[in-house]
Structure 1
Amino acid sequence: MAAFRFGFGRLNFHLLKRRSFLLLKLIAFVCSVLLFCEFLIYYLVILRCNWPEVKTPAHGGEQETLEPVLKAMFLADTHLLGELRGHWLDKLRRMNRYRIKRFEKVFNPERLFSWKGINFVMVNSVALEGDGCDICSEAEAELMDISHKLNCSREGQEQRPGQCGEGPQLPASAPVLLQHFPLYRRSDANCSGDDAAPPEEKGIPFKERYDVLSREASQKLLWWLRPRLILSGHTHSGCEVLHGAGVPELSVPSFSWRNRNNPSFIMGSLTPTEYALAKCYLPLEDTVLTTYCAAAGFLVVLMLVHLGLVTSPVLFGYKLLRKFKTV
């Protein structure tokens, strides 16, 4: 009787040991999948990205003194707060003074700022509707003041005595314009690339003051600011167009899987006179979902094998090979 109990206890211990070992394997596998899909895969994909090199003009076969290079990343439409709170609900969620003050208190944005001799102008696109909104006239007056400062930086204090004030002037560099809404264009019909709009959406005409800025507002920005580069978002797709006398505008695709299967961001190397841009993609959402599905299927098969409902593929192959040798 004692021997029977001892044998039964050893059997229970063996079963418990097997189950514990299986549980440890499952936990290790799940943790490995999570680590890969939520962390490592981003590094593996982003390792292919590099900062673009700015071409330096040369004279007499020798390069000029290198200007300081500013390296910056540009993201658009992250939609971090989800489908309702993070999405632009047409005019219902239009910015008012309270939301603007709250945004400025948290992020402390400046409409005009300079880094390493490079001027940036950040425009509140919502204030350029031209419909007499509460913040439109204030925004236009601010843009006119920015235009005056930029003109002074281009022409210099000597050519405009008394008109530019005595304070420090901005660097003599055409600005980079940053805004949410793109300047006016008919559609995305001429856009191309892996992150361009789908073919069925390219030919859909854009609505002024909804998909893009109005023609009037777009022309004002080009006249007042005379930018050398424009970076915008809102369309969730990539596109590059030329405005006026060849001013390039790059629509930055959405940095969110909610809007794209292949989110991306822009890596830029800028100097006061030149710039170079490169696109860096995140992992495809389909790749991550496929990895999770394959892992889940493997776990199901592993559990069925452990419960004896399905023969182990290794054991099945061994038996099949042994049977073949016997025959």
Structure 2
Amino acid sequence: MIGGGVGCARFVKGLREHVRRTGGRDRIDVVVNTADDWWVSGLRIAPDHDSLLYALAGVNDTERGWGRSNETERVSAELAAWGTAPDWFTLGDLDLGTHIARTAWLREGLPLSEVYRRLGTRWDLGATLHPATDDEIDTHVLRADGAPLHFQEWWVRHRAQIPATGFVQRGIEHATVSAGAHEAIADADAILIAPSNPVVSVGPVLSVPGMREALAASGAPIVGVSGIIAGAVVRGMADACLAAIGVETSAEAVARHYGARADGGLLDGWLVDESDAAAVAPLGAAGITTRAVPLWMRDEDSSARLAADALALADAVRR
């Protein structure tokens, strides 16, 4: 699977439950976006990875939608008081423990893949997380006035309200696909694109040099799940990101943005919600086999059914 963040975490949990219900023989590998990582108070913060880690471990804050449950924020308040961290980016004390461990290992010279492995051994996740790349890349927002703005400031502080004209990942031209990601793609029976933000979660993964080539070389069907339902984002502000790159906020437009694999794009198949059933025929004509199914992941059962639908579409495409 490719993705990151809360939407990906919910989908992976559904996939894990589906695997459990069908005998538990399948392995789940997730290639995780690293481009929204950044440095705060000398610590490397990794929001997309940590959303997956905490959700799969069952220690995430389900009410806020990010961070650990039962958190305190004493250290974050002290960092803001000292002026070493922005007061609009709050980190919980338990969460800071993760960031300190990550940064300590990185400063020892360990690659990010090994850091992922070590963080993943604390809990039984039921999935293996791989960074898209071991190289450091950060997303920055392009603005009309040319002033630099890190993605996290645009996203968290300004809630994506500052008009953007695009996004760039600094350092990505020198990045390479991590060994774990490359192996997971090469060995996959099916590759699923999570209902993550297509611009800043999935897009940076696809932009890592060599990633699209690895996907193109895979014999596995590639099926995506729309994070847009009835013209609205399920969660977050993906609509602002899509607008910045000139893509309409619709399930059909996002599928066309990814493109048909047969025409050099990404997708063999695409799942849309039943409310977007009108997109099935035109996307099929464009070379993307599309099915309309319930996409809302309201609980364990609905999430597992969605995962089953995605795998069924992958099997149909394969045949």
Q: What is the TM-score of this pair, normalised by structure 2?
A: 0.30
Q: What is the TM-score of this pair, normalised by structure 1?
A: 0.30
- Larger RCO: 1 or 2 (CA < 8 Å, sep 6+): 1
Tell me which structure has the larger Cα radius of gyration. Answer: 1
